[in-house]
Amino acid sequence: MLLNKLKNLSRFQKQLIIFSVDFFLLPSVLFLSFATRYGYWYLPHTDFIFWLTLGSSIIGSSIFVFFGLYKSVTRYVGFQAIWLIVKAVSIYALVWGVIFLAGFGVPRSVVFINWILSILIIVGIRIAAKWVITRAARKQNTVQSGHNPKRVLIYGAGHAGVHLAGALTYSSEFIATGFIDDLKELQGNSILGLKVFSIDQISKVIHEHKIDEVLLAIPSAPRSKRFNIISLLEPFSVKVRMLPGVEDLVGGRVSVDDLHEVKIEDLLGRDSVPANQELLGKNITGKIVLVTGAGGSIGAEICRQVLSLKPKTLILFEINELALYKIEKKLSTNNLNQIDIYPILGSTLSKPRLNSVFNYFNVDTVYHTAAYKHVPMVEFNNTEGVDNNIFGTLNCSQAAIDNGVDTFVLISTDKAVRPTNTMGATKRIAELILQALSSTQNNTKFTMVRFGNVLDSSGSVIPLFKEQIKDGGPITVTDKNIFRYFMTISEAVELVIQAGAMGAGGEVFVLDMGEPVSIVSLAKKMIRLSGLVLKDEINPDGDIEIEYIGLRPGEKLYEELLIGDNTFSTDNALIMRAREDMVSWEKLQPILDDLNKVVESCDQEKIRMLLLKLVPDFKPQCEIKDILYKKI
């Protein structure tokens, strides 16, 4: 095929072909200009033809080379290349006109006509060549890939959408069929040859044009706007992809590679509240900060945000060697401010290790995230769950007091409220420990921040659902009526840091996580937005089925964030201050001593009894006889 032969030519050979086309084209345009001027085919005398031909070719080609016209790749000719051609042709027409007006008495109108026709024909040939090459390349790629390109609709006919449509011109994976836009002045018009439809026409367009995917090109839109659009698209079972936020698009350049799957946070439909920069830096900037559980989902994000707030030193305290290695490597790669980072292996159950680290580094601020959080896992390993979550917190908090730590922030959970599982009970006791210790001294400020599930954390349903959809299903859901609170990891951590800076000592802060989300509805959304069809009684030939497997040990249908109704607002609308009952250290300490003894003896019956004593609201779903490991 001719195009394949041209494609295999060297860059210099291709440039030589384009140069030759222009060299012989310019005289032809001149003859056409004379014919246009006189109204008939004008053939000047022989000498004039020679100078006309030679003069236009030499003058024009020289100027075109000077302007770098032959450095442009024909397949990617765009506005800048066209503008360069216009400038080069204008200079050529002017120089040729001046010479031949003076030397040969050429009519002035011919000079003007030559200028116009040269621009139109030279630009037109390049655009036509671009069109032919692009279509041939797309056809060839389709044949090689063995599948047809997907028909896509671009939502957003703004700057990003237009650039995306231009990028899709060279894609073998997608064919753009049109735009959807809210602006009435754009609707009905064409951009890059693609019609702009209104939002009311989206159903008709998707069905008539057999749309496979919708690409959201609205990077500056708030999350609530994206949520509304995604909700609108959900019933059509088209795959939805989107461009990242406007801050991630550098210099206005948009490529197909920028597209990604719809983020789960866009399904929550809530805009974040701007952070208070003063609060963010209060306990971090210029301070020595230590994060326990630094390799976990929350701990790692706290480390990343702390690093960006320019602490004097960041200490990563982690028991898992691999997790510590990974987070230290990531942070070191992004350590633009050359902050001192120290990866420390250690367990919160080793009080000597904690005292040694706190004392050596003279720690100012502690974010305590280290805990066992997986409900069924802790339910089957009560002894370790109690030991780690309760006595690990006790050791950290006492080490903080003994070594003069200014601020200690505990990451708590909604499962601590009226717990039905051991993990929730242990986290509630961890809160009671900090409240009690806070009342015994004023040197270390203890603050607790309570929130629900974070998206894409380890053990979250979101990564599980994604993997199950990728594997063809089924998606496993515990119960049809299960609801959960969700928040992005980055947003939760940003609020945790601010809440920690608000505390005066002993407060419980609760993050407003919006409305609880139906897990079944979330699963259905993820199926549809993957371009797949839910398989159920209505659609037995669908793609992905939802399988209900029953509640796991200790799991609740609904989670809560508050024990009582005594809440107070703060300067941040998403952070509430809760006033809840507490236990004095005098009453708490002896029970903790007893609990420590029965943990050492692995007495499950007594462990359960003491948990119930410390947390009267604890309503365990699992009987001791149901626990897998009853004696270890």
Q: Phi first, then psi: give them for residue 319, nearest 5 degrees.
A: -85, -25
Give the distance between the most distant pair of CA atoms in the chain.
118
Find residue 289's DSSP bridge partners. 314, 365
Buried b (16+ CB within 10 A) or exposed e, 88-113: bbebbbeebbeebeeeeebeeebbeb
3-state secondary structure (DSSP) of residue 437: helix
* Dist CA 465 CA 526 (whole Å): 8
Secondary structure element (H or E) that encloses residue 565, with its range: none
C-alpha pair distances (Å), 166 with each of 76, 106, 120, 239, 591: 10, 42, 22, 21, 69
Comparing CA positions, the residue from 199, 210, 155 lying closest to residue 178 is 155
Q: Where are the beta strands (DSSP E) in 319-395?
A: 340-345, 365-368
Q: What is the chain's length? A: 632
Find residue 341's DSSP bridge partners. 314
Q: Phi first, then psi: give them for residue 37, nearest 5 degrees.
A: -65, -45
Q: Name the token pair of 235.
A: 């019933």
Let me know the angle formed at the C-alpha of 385 by 381 and 389, rounded to the nearest 5 degrees. Answer: 175
Secondary structure element (H or E) that encloses residue 561, with its range: none
CB 405 within 8 A of CB 398: no
CB 573 within 8 A of CB 512: yes
Structure letter (DSSP) for residue 107: -
As annotated, the active-site residues are 415
State the CB neighbour count (10 A cutoff) for residue 388.
Answer: 20
What amino acid is encoded at 270 in this protein? Answer: R
Secondary structure element (H or E) that encloses residue 266, with its range: none
Buried b (16+ CB within 10 A) or exposed e, 532-546: bebbeeeeeeebbbb
Q: Phi first, then psi: give them for residue 186, nearest 5 degrees.
A: -90, -25
Sequence-separated (6 or more) residues with CB below 8 Å from residue 303: 291, 294, 314, 316, 327, 331
Whether the link from the prior residue into 343 is cis, omega within 30° of 0, is no
What amino acid is encoded at 457 in this protein? Answer: S
The alpha carbon torsion through 393, 399, 405, 411 (nearest 10 deg) reads: -10
CB 460 within 8 A of CB 423: no
Sequence-separated (6 or more) residues with CB below 8 Å from residue 295: 316, 318, 320, 322, 323, 324, 326, 327
* Dist CA 138 CA 174 (whole Å): 10
Comparing CA positions, the residue from 588, 444, 569, 443 lying closest to residue 512 is 569
CB 546 within 8 A of CB 524: yes
Secondary structure (DSSP) of 95-141: HHHHHHHHHH---HHHHHHHHHHHHHHHHHHHHHHHHHHHHHHHHHH
3-state secondary structure (DSSP) of residue 447: strand
* Dist CA 121 CA 388 (whole Å): 78
Secondary structure element (H or E) that encloses residue 401, with its range: helix 392-402
